[in-house]
Amino acid sequence: MEDVEYLKLLAEQYPNVPAVSTEIINLKAILNLPKSTEHFLTDLHGEDEAFQHMLKTASGLIKYQIEKIFDNEISDSEKNELATVIYYPEEKLKLLNNNNQLSNEWYKKNLNRIVRLSKEVSSVYTRSKVRKALPKNFAYIIEELLHLKQDDKNKKEYHDQIISMIIEIGQAENFIISLSDLIQTFTIDKLHIIGDLFDRGPNPHRIMEELKAHHNCDIQWGNHDILWIGAGLGQKALLATAVRISLRYGNLELLEEYYGINMRPLARFAIHYYRNSIHKEFQPKLIDKELDKNEKKIISQMHKAISVIQFKLEGNLIKNRSEFNMNEAVYLDKIDYKKGTITLEGKEYQLTDNYLPTIDPENPYQLNEWEQEVIDQLSYSFKNNDKLQNDIRFLFNNGSMYLKYNNNLLYHGCVPLTSDGEFAPIEINGAKYEGKALLDFFDDIVRKSYSYKYEDVDYRDWLWYLWRGELSPLFGKDKMTTFLRYFTEDSSLQVEKMNPYYNIREKETTCNKILKEFGLDPKIGHIINGHTPVKEKRGESPIKGNGKLLVIDGGISAAYQKKTGIAGYTLSYNSFEMRLIYHKPFFSKKLAVKKGSDTVSSKRIVKFKDKIMISETDIGKKLNNKIKKLMKLLKAYNKGIIKEKY
């Protein structure tokens, strides 16, 4: 018999016929359960409160279940109140108590409702999985309530007595909190984050903490995630960029207070060189925050100082790494520092800000001694910061360039294409990479960059290419015009041309081609995409390629909402449908608790499906493979090839 050695190892876990038979029966039964729900989010950009609200509400799925279960039984206001109690149990119960709205009758009524909802959302899981997720303090009681049948008259008094005693001994609030957490956990089984946790918003670290505590999530890296991974690994151009963007959005607290990065050397340097007036482009873009005049001034000075350092570092990279084939100018040597102009393609443009005291016109890309000291110190702080390194390790361990999961292809940016719709190749050391091979190459680069972080190798420079290179699957533009946006007013200079992918993905044939390239069936597969905010208010649709590709970046980041007109898309995928959901702006947790309002404005059902069972999923394939091996073990026991143990 094949694989006898493997079967002997398997026999240690299933030592006899009854044990292996029980597991085969159990796995066969699991295959016939409905597929559980997946939740897709992207481009969170540090907006932790909006992100947490989407998790707690399951992007409206909990409210949907309430509507379905209670339909005409209770009023709309009661449904809203019940939903808010489940989203924010501690805060809502405190508010209700302060308004003298809590009573034994209220607790009884709502405990029964929450138990009914808990039964519904946990019904797609095995008892074993449910049991493992139960809070220890109430595990036995909750399990009893979840498995009592609604129409079992023999146990109605038993059920009612449990509820009454929970209230009588003062445990109703704790019980509601426990059940609410359980509902949030069971409504969504798998969470997919399709890139860009960092930058713009103030609290990406809080999003990271939430993800670390999540029971089942994966991440497809975005360009802003790679930026921070590279910065944490000490790639200095990326490090300078991460600091610049944080200062641009006034997020100095993230660097100093949470990550504990020492910003004083940069501040001292900036105040010394840039104490004169600062151009408006270096004023921080403040979203939902206020800074006093002195704070704004110092941040602006630091912003300009680190920007100049970044441009010097990037210029050297572009010149020294010819294999990057960067399709953009290196700007600092195109400036006439006396006239305050820059010459590009034979045309002279006036600089909006020509105060550049740290640039030597004879050697414009050379860091001066103090600049070198500043960037070396920042590099040391980033590489030796435990909190940041822990976050980067989580991104590394749970992330990838793309993911194939349950016939869907998930990636943040694009699969680079040529203008005629072919996969765009990049040549590296004589080898060409395109399509899936290109994304695999960059996935390998990220892993090598992390694995060899203590060695003197050049993989980290490729992370910078991933951040802004023309054929980077995460960037998807011909160039990055950051310098020109800061220093020129001519909008024609600031255009960043999108990769042809972003137009050609409108065609179903293109989407099918990409799905086939990654080994997925175009008849049932979908591409789930982020990176480019969908401008809903201009009539743009998030549904591309006749429903084959879904773009779910609609502006969760407050910085994008003026352009998009909404506050982001999310996607859910359960056993009978894919549901595209779009959201209104989330203002605050306090307002959500007080008014009981949700951010879901409406839903677009993308595609109905026949009920999908676990047997048809990726997990089902793994279970079927395990069943085959267990059947071999059972056969080995029955033939006496392997001896049973009791």
How confident is the model over 295-349, as pLDDT tens digits?
888 999 999 999 999 999 999 999 988 888 887 778 999 999 999 999 998 999 9
| E strands, 58-211, in order | 190-193
Residue 431, φ and ψ in degrees, nearest 5: -110, 145
> With 50 as the cut, is the pLDDT of residue 178 above it?
yes
| CB within 8 Å of 283: residues ≥ 6 apart | 296, 300
Which three-class secondary structure string do you get for 47-73? Answer: CHHHHHHHHHHHHHHHHHHHHHHHCCC
Q: In which residue are the tokens 């600049």 written?
A: 371
**Measuring CA to CA, how many Å separate 163 from each of 106, 107, 138, 311?**
12, 9, 13, 66
- Residues 6 or more apart from 152 whose CB is under 8 A from it? none
Helix (H, G, I), strand (E, B) or coil at 429: coil
- Mean pLDDT over residues 523-552, rounded? 85
pLDDT tens track for 3-14: 788 898 999 999
Q: What is the pLDDT of residue 510?
A: 97
Q: Give the model's pLDDT for residue 279.
A: 78
pTM reported for the whole predicted model: 0.91
pLDDT in tens, 391-440: 999 999 999 999 999 999 999 999 999 999 999 999 988 899 999 999 99
The lowest-confidence range among 146-150, 178-182, 368-372 is: 146-150
Task: Quote the CA–CA distance of 444 and 450 in Å, as a whole number.
Answer: 10
549-551/543-544 β-pairing: antiparallel
Would you say residue 471 has pLDDT above 80?
yes
Q: Quote the mean pLDDT of the chain.
A: 89
Question: If DSSP codes are grouped into helix, strand and coil, which group holds residue 84?
Answer: helix
159 vs 615: which has the higher pLDDT: 615
Instruction: Say what the pLDDT of residue 599 is.
Output: 63
Lay out the sheet containing 335-336: strands in order across: 335-336, 341-344, 347-350
User: 1 versus 107: which is more confidently predicted?
Assistant: 107
Provide the pLDDT confidence category of residue 455 given band limits of 50, 70 and 90: low
Cα separation values, 390 from 205, 247, 622, Å: 11, 22, 31
Of residues 399, 387, 398, 469, the one with CA closest to residue 428: 469
For residue 434, the number of C-alpha atoms closer than 13 Å in the C-beta half-sphere is 11
Dihedrals φ, ψ of 520, to 5°?
A: -110, 155
462, 449 contact by CB (below 8 A) = yes
- Give the start-to-end residue ranges of the domains of the chain: 4-32+618-638, 38-194+530-612, 216-388+423-439+457-487
